A and B are shown apart, each in its own frame.
Chain A
Amino acid sequence: MELTTFWFIIIAVLWVGYLVLEGFDFGVGMLMAVLARDDTERRVLINTIGPVWDGNEVWLLVAGGATFAAFPEWYATLFSGFYLPLLLILVALIVRIIGIEFRSKRDEVSWRRRCDTAIVFGSVVPALLWGVALANIVRGVPIDADGEYVGGFFNLLNPYGLLGGLVTLSVFLVHGAFFVGLKTVGPIRERAIRLGLRAGVVAGALAVAFVVWTGLAQDSLAVWILGGLTVLAFVIGMLNALDRRDGRAFAGTAVAIALLVATLFSGLFPDVMPSSLDAAWSLTTTNAASTPYTLTIMSWVAVFFTPIVIGYQSWSYWVFRRRIGVHHIPV
């Protein structure tokens, strides 16, 4: 396999890791607004993701760094081109971190309200915009002969991009709800699963529409197969949630998100950012890549350290595997 292809796959894997993991903590963040009935229940929700959300977010930083190192042209065009959406995402993530970390540091009701708003805003905005961004990358955007994005902000708000955003938003909400179902006990668990099932109907319908649209636009067998499997995994997750098999329900949405990302990246390959103006101006895995020497070094680092990272992150999930409920929240 070409090193450039290998790195395309690694970047895809990093996005899978990021969206599967932070996907559920975004979902839990959104649920703060609709699921919890009082302060204690909101604390139960935050504490389901407490020990792990920060590690989940690092997947984004590594995806960004890896793109910079392996495909500098892609990194440069993408982040200078998608300027305002990225700014919004950054602001949302900052506000969210502060909301989560500082919420319990003060007791005033007004303070906690504001932190809740920050957490909800900080979860909804990236959940929506990452979908918009990924869909637009796959769809193709105006890139000129110098590899510069020349489309402006509103170009990104096309129907396909927005549908992509709604898919990630709704699927993450369901993913988060099933995670809460897996991690809590008592009435909050039951409510989370019921809400996840109801939202799941909408999310599933949106996902089917998005997968079909992607399949028609990309004209690739792999996209149809992976897209079909995405929907299948999501449905299996839903069916398991109906039976209150929490682990399998959560695994279903996790696999569905992973397959959705795989669908998009397989539609993208061998481009990394197709130009809608002229196919010759598209950024590809070869013309956007770093040198073989850099890619070789990075490959060794990745091959050696990624299993270690996955190992200790999994261990931390194992350490905090216990379900929690309102009685676990200290007064």
Chain B
Amino acid sequence: MDVLDLARWQFGITTVYHFFFVPLTIGLSVLVATMQTIWRRSGDERWLRLTKFFGKLFLINFAMGIATGIVQEFQFGMNWSDYSRFVGDIFGAPLAIEGLLAFFLESTFLGLWIFGWDRLKPGLHLACIWIAAAGTVFSAYFILAANSFMQNPVGYTLNGEKGRAELTDFGAVLTNKVLLATFPHQIIGCFMVAGAFVAGVALWNMMRHPDRDADAFRPAFRMGAVVLLVAGLGTMITGDFQGKVMTEVQPMKMAAAEALYDDAKPAPFSILTVGTLDGSEEVFKLEVPKLLSFLGTGTFDGEVRGIDSLQEEYEQKYGPGDYKPNIPVTYWTFRAMITAGGLAMAAGALMLWATRRGRTPRSRWMLRAAIVLPLLPMAANSFGWIFTEMGRQPWVVFGLMPTASGVSPSTSVGEVATSLATFTLLYGVLAVIEVRLLLRYVQAGLPQLDPPRDPDLGDADAPLAYAY
């Protein structure tokens, strides 16, 4: 493997891994903040215990998100220095603003929230988690602004002398139509993850320990399941909108999502295909007629461009070369995304039904489903991103810079191989630690509330409400 392959694998591995934690952090910060708000408003201590319970799971996850996030920022400079030189004038700005506006907010106010239980007035303490949650959403917006520029470059001009793209309209970068489509889809996708997580964890506890805090886990489960279902509908609607924008600005990606080689009007959508995906042979195909036309254009007989004609067009436009992404990867990740998201919604709906009117399901299958449930939207998020990023290939900035020319010229195979091996190994170890820790705290159930303070001890000498 050469530097390019290694750098691409490293980006893929570190980014997908980092992204296991991001959607849960974004969604769960809001759900934990909501639980604490319900407690404040109702005075019902079950919600305080839930806040602390899910808050702890949230923090374990958040720590992993931060630990793996640092790599993301420096990786551009380390492995993709020519890319950084080419787009730094544009791409760097949202990244820097993300740090200044979002990361400081998240880290400082989360610190205040974690350690401030006995230091801040209750209302102020509650505000801290809401501010931290807002920080995560800002963060998503700016990082997606940077990514959307790579999907659909806007607001720039090319400077031939300096060999780089230069920013001419920052407003255009912040209102990129790809960004406006991706941001809601992504944020709502985060709520699917968090909803499924809360629902799965709560249902597991209810079923496994029906005599332990079931009265507290039941409303938490319903909250999670409802969030999952509503967000599921939301991701479908926003995903549909995003598909139309994608068909407009990156028609090759839509063609690759369907492995559609010839222009079609109307175009069908295949549920699955058995055969070779280079289009030469097809054993079996299950299709829904006209659906791709609708997904791509909004009408049932709209034309969807095929891979071959787009390849021809791009050759005329950009010169000879292969402008097709990896078709099997785009085809299957697109379906995997939809399937995982759909299964999550179906499972969530089934579980809601099974718990209606105070019932607690007893079947072993339901218990297993509760364990798998949080993983489904997480997988959907990952597959969605793999699709989006792989579908952009061979471009790192669509139409402007091929991925192959973005890689660091002076970096050696040995260096990239070393870092790839190091991060893969380290992340593997961390995964084991994280999963064990999460399981331990999920199994431990809701924490008991602290007993009232010993009045003989002055406030200054009382133990910390939260300590490492």
Contacts and interface: CB of A to CB of B under 8 A. Distances in A.
Pairing of A with B: yes
A221 interface: no
A225 to B, nearest CB: 31
B467 A77 contact: no
Contacts of A302: 100
Contacts of B467: 43, 47, 50, 104, 328-330
A297 interface: yes
Contacts of B409: 146, 148
A58 B105 CA distance: 10
Interface in A280-331: 290-291, 293-294, 297-298, 301-302, 305-306, 309, 312-313, 316, 319-320, 322, 324, 327-331
B112 A51 contact: yes
The number of chain A residues touching the other chain, given as a range, is: 35 or more
B85 A73 contact: yes
Contact of A90 (B74, B89, B433): B74
A79 B81 contact: yes
A316 B60 CA distance: 22
Given A76-B81, A79-B81, A305-B101, A65 B410 contact: no
B71 interface: yes
Contacts of B441: 105
A102 B63 contact: yes
A294 B155 CA distance: 12
A94 B67 CA distance: 5
B103 A75 contact: no
A84 interface: yes
A97 B468 contact: no
Interface in B89-122: 89-93, 95-101, 103-105, 107-112, 114-116, 119-120
A61 B464 contact: no
A322 B70 CA distance: 30
Contact of B468 (A50, A77, A83, A87): A50
Contact of A149 (B63, B105, B410, B462): B410
A63 to B, nearest CB: 9
A171 B63 CA distance: 28
A301 B410 contact: no
Interface string A72-109: 11011111110110110011011101101111111000
Interface in B411-426: 411, 415, 418-419, 422, 426
Interface string A147-167: 111100000000000000000
B82 A61 contact: no
B168 interface: yes
Interface string A20-33: 00000000000000
Nearest to A69: B92
A64 interface: yes
A298 B91 CA distance: 12
Contact of A290 (B59, B92, B105): B92
A52 interface: yes
B111 A51 contact: yes
B93 A294 contact: yes
Contact of B77 (A68, A297, A330): A68
Interface string B440-468: 11000000000000000000111110011
A290 B88 contact: yes
A7 to B, nearest CB: 10
Contacts of B78: 79-80, 83, 86-87
Contacts of A71: 88
A68 B422 contact: no
B349 interface: no
Interface of A is mostly: helix
A317 B97 CA distance: 23
A97 B103 contact: no
B418 A55 contact: no
A259 interface: no
B66 interface: yes
B88 A330 contact: no
A173 interface: no
Q: Which of A95, A97, A104, A146 has most chain B Cβ within 10 Å?
A: A97
A78 B77 contact: yes
Contacts of B76: 68, 75, 79
B63 A101 contact: yes
A313 B101 CA distance: 13
B68 to A, nearest CB: 7
Nearest to B74: A79
Contact of B63 (A51, A98, A291): A98
B246 to A, nearest CB: 27
Contact of B108 (A55, A67, A95): A55
Contact of B71 (A75, A94, A103): A94
A147 B162 CA distance: 12
B73 A65 contact: yes
B170 interface: yes
Interface of B: 59-60, 63-64, 66-68, 70-71, 73-74, 76-79, 81-82, 84-85, 87-93, 95-101, 103-105, 107-112, 114-116, 119-120, 164, 166-168, 170, 408-411, 415, 418-419, 422, 426, 430, 433, 437, 440-441, 460-464, 467-468
25 contacts: A47-B468, A54-B66, A57-B70, A58-B107, A62-B99, A62-B104, A64-B99, A66-B92, A68-B88, A75-B88, A76-B81, A76-B82, A76-B408, A79-B74, A80-B78, A81-B410, A87-B418, A100-B468, A148-B81, A298-B93, A301-B101, A305-B100, A313-B104, A319-B119, A330-B464
Given A58-B99, A101-B63, A297-B93, 11 more contacts: A47-B468, A58-B104, A67-B92, A76-B82, A102-B60, A103-B468, A301-B100, A316-B108, A319-B112, A320-B116, A330-B467
10 nearest A-B residue pairs (beta carbon): A72-B88, A79-B77, A69-B92, A65-B96, A68-B92, A80-B81, A101-B63, A76-B81, A62-B99, A80-B408
